[in-house]
Amino acid sequence: MTKVGVARLFLNGRSQAVRLPKEFRFEGERVRLRRVPEGVLLEPFISDTAKWFEELDRFAKEPLMSGGRKQPLAPRREIFK
């Protein structure tokens, strides 16, 4: 079941900030923000893509793109005739 909590809003200079309860804290100094239909989503900011995919794999039953990318080759085009 998803944890639900209440966070406090406050102003920090000219920015609005959120004070997260201890059980919702993130590691590091930054988070990724995304506006979704239900509101705003905070996600851990992971700059290392390999580590990011590892984190995604923790939530999936099978690893993301475990067999590699199976993308067709781009067609060759003659741009200027």
Q: Which of 26, 23, 58 is nearest to 43 (CA)?
A: 26
pLDDT tens, N- to C-terminus, the chain (81 residues): 578 889 999 999 999 999 999 999 988 888 989 999 989 988 888 788 788 777 777 777 766 667 777 788 888 888 876
pTM of the model: 0.50
Long-range contacts of 25-33, Cβ-Cβ distance < 8 Å, separation of 24 or more: none
Q: Is 31 helix (H, G, I), strand (E, B) or coil?
A: strand
Q: What is the pLDDT of residue 1?
A: 56
CA–CA gap between residue 10 and residue 45 (Å, rounded): 22
